[in-house]
Chains A and B, each alone.
Chain A
Amino acid sequence: QSVLTQPPSVSGAPGQRVTLSCTGSSSNIGAAYDVHWYQQLPGTAPKLLIYGNNNRPSGVPDRFSGSKSGTSASLAITGLQAEDEADYYCQSYDSSLSGWVFGGGTKLTVL
């Protein structure tokens, strides 16, 4: 069972907007630790997608955006494309566990 909670799956049609949620607690997201997002394409290593709640590394399209409020965070993807089909993981730090924590991942299917 993951410390951060993500829906197992989400889907959307090309061109649509989807939102992926990530719920934590008072010892991680709610404790003001930042939330970060990773994209894992099939058969590949994870890749940093969003850091510090809402910042994109160089090369990540602005179709991807992040937000955080209270004990939750969200990743929004606009203009959905076939190549966005992947697993998405949120991640933070937990002060009770003294360690880095992940969500269980959300599988995005582009219909």
Chain B
Amino acid sequence: QVQLVESGGGVVQPGRSLRLSCAASGFTFSSYGMHWVRQAPGKGLEWVAVMSYDGSNKYYADSVKGRFTISRDNSKNALFLEVNGLRAEDTAVYYCARSPLCSSASCPYYFDFWGQGTLVTVSS
């Protein structure tokens, strides 16, 4: 079965960096686009970034552009999010989520499987 397991969260001071990881199993990781979505405590969901199946395309939400970097290692079935210049408003649970397979015509714009999340707390 599909499994996504995030790690790397923790308490970090403002301005510092962190690298989040997502270990994937139960599917052909190299065939799927992958996303990061975050949720601040008691708040709603916010899309953060996406990377295409082969790593050739990546897009970011305006709120993190220039500070966060998404990457992947298909040989290790792993997705990463490098988060730099952390701010208090980046405090959230960070989920990795899978995008369904694209057809020849288009790619679905939703998330079919989610990990359990990793909590990042930015505090001095």
Q: Mark A85-100, 1 if CB is under 8 A from B, else 0.
A: 0000101110001111
- Closest CB in chain B relative to A97 CB, distance in Å: 7
Report chain B residues within 8 Å CB of A33. 109
Most buried by B among A2, A36, A48, A89: A48
Q: Are A34 and B62 in contact (CB under 8 A)?
A: no
Report chain B residues within 8 Å CB of A100. 35, 37, 47, 50, 109-110
User: In which size bucket is the chain B interface?
Assistant: 20 to 34
Known: A51-B108, A52-B108, A105-B44. A99 touches B114 (CB 8 A): no
Q: Are B108 and A105 in contact (CB under 8 A)?
A: no
Most buried by B among A57, A91, A100, A103: A100
Report chain B residues within 8 Å CB of A91. 45, 110-111
Report chain B residues within 8 Å CB of A38. 45, 111
Q: Are A89 and B59 in contact (CB under 8 A)?
A: no
Known: A99-B47, A100-B47. A34 touches B114 (CB 8 A): no
Q: Are B112 and A57 in contact (CB under 8 A)?
A: yes
In Å, the complex CA distance between A48 and B113 comes to: 7
Report chain A residues within 8 Å CB of B112. 48, 51, 57
Q: B88 contacts the other chain (Cβ, under 8 Å)?
A: no
Q: A17 contacts the other chain (Cβ, under 8 Å)?
A: no
Report chain A residues within 8 Å CB of B59. 98-99
Contact residue among A34, A46, A52, A99 (Cβ-Cβ distance under 8 Å from B45): A46
* A-facing residues in B3-18 (Cβ within 8 Å): none
Report chain B residues within 8 Å CB of A63. none
In Å, the complex CA distance between A44 and B109 comes to: 22
List 27 A–B pairs whose Cβ atoms lie within 8 Å, in order of A's numbering.
A2-B44, A34-B109, A34-B110, A36-B109, A38-B45, A38-B111, A45-B115, A45-B116, A46-B37, A46-B45, A48-B113, A51-B100, A51-B108, A51-B112, A52-B110, A89-B44, A89-B45, A93-B109, A98-B59, A100-B35, A100-B47, A101-B47, A102-B45, A102-B46, A102-B47, A103-B44, A105-B44
Chain A positions near chain B (C-beta within 8 angstroms): 2, 33-34, 36, 38, 44-48, 51-52, 57, 89, 91-93, 97-105
